[in-house]
Structures are given as C-alpha cells and as structure tokens.
Amino acid sequence: MCWPISRGQKCSGSRGAAAPPNPSGVKGVSAATGENIINIAGCPPHPDWIVWAVAQLLIGQNIPLDGNGRPTQFFSRKVHDLCPRKDREKAERLGLDGGCLKELGCRGPETKANCPTLKWNNGVNWCVEANAPCLGCTEPTFSGTNPFYKEL
Ligand code: SF4
Ligand code: SF4
C-alpha cells in the first residue's frame, strides 16, 4: 500500500507494478498512466509523512524523490542503519531479549524509512522496539513471496 500525491505532477497510486507474484496483474497508477507521482510508501504510510508532503505542496516547495518516487526526506536511509539494535547480539526468540531480529526475518537492512527515529503513534513505539521485525513495508517488493518470519 502507498499514499500517492500529486504536485503539478499528477495524483495516482502505487508508483510501480505490484510486488510479485501479482497473479491479478495489478499495476501501480504511475505504471498504468505514465504520470509522475509522489509515493508515500508504507503499509500503512506514516501519517506524518503524508501531512508533511501535503504541506510542502501547499507552500510550493519542491519535494526531492528517490528512484521509487519516495521523498528522500524520509526514505533515504535504511531502517537498519537507524536501528538502536544494530550492534546487539542476535535475538534467539521474538519478543524476549531485545536483540537484533535479523536472523528472525527482519528486513530492516533492505528497507528505507525513518521509523526508528520518528516512531509511530506520536513517538510511542515502532516495529522493532515492539519486538517485531521490520517487514519492509515501504519497499516496492513488499509484501513479496517470502514469509515475514524465519523458522528456527
Ligand atoms: S533488528 Fe532489524 S533493523 Fe534492527 S539492527 Fe537488527 S536487522 Fe537491523
Ligand atoms: S519498521 Fe519497517 S515494517 Fe515497520 S513501519 Fe517501518 S518500514 Fe514498515
């Protein structure tokens, strides 16, 4: 899922084709129409990302985008690089020891978003701090064909 925004560029939906296996052949609005969009990625997108982008448009500011149409303001760094568990021992089980969840399926190393610093629900928490792996929800490959969790 993503939240598409126009800015003199046009409004539309997910920027690229849907993630594989995509049996129904769904296309993102950008792929279907050829229009440029601002892709506020995420499942769901963080409301602060949406409000910020709309505010930028309202005051006439240009919004720098990455190759997937996402504002670089929020999607230039990997979750893993911002994660406070980066140098910790690997977690043996979900929800118990506060360790790094990479071996349990965390997609933070391949996912760009500022969740570790922004957090959700007015800064209350975010996925890894709640002992759940990052699922990579801001990436065009989300949700993908692989399971979210790895069996031990
Ligand atoms: S929990 Fe995930 S995002 Fe955090 S350091 Fe480990 S692999 Fe990276
Ligand atoms: S931490 Fe990962 S799965 Fe969680 S909201 Fe951020 S990008 Fe999505």
Nearest CA to ligand 2 atom 8: 137
Q: Is the CB of 53 within 6 Å of ligand 2?
A: no
Which range marks the domain in which residue 137 is found?
77-152
* 22 and 65 housed in the same domain: yes
112 touches ligand 1 (CB under 6 Å): no
More confident residue, 24 or 135: 135
Domain with 121 in it: what CATH number?
A: 4.10.480.10
- Of the three residues 28, 47, 75, the one that is the final residue of a domain is 75
Assess whether 50 and 90 both reside in one domain: no
1-29 confidence digits (pLDDT tens): 555 554 333 333 344 556 677 788 888 77
Instruction: Tell me the pTM.
Output: 0.85
What region, left, alpha or beta, does residue 101 occupy, with left being phi > 0 and alpha being psi -120 to 50 degrees?
Answer: alpha
**Last-in-domain residue among 75, 96, 118:** 75
| pLDDT tens per residue, range 33-45 | 888 889 999 999 9
Query: pLDDT tens digits, residue range 49-108?
Result: 999 999 999 999 999 999 999 999 999 999 999 999 999 999 988 877 789 999 999 999
Domain closes at, from 29, 49, 75: 75
CA of 119 from ligand 2 middle (Å) equals 9
Domain count, the chain: 2
Please tell me if the CB atom of residue 101 comes closer than 6 angstroms to any atom of ligand 2.
no
Residues 112 and 49 in one domain: no
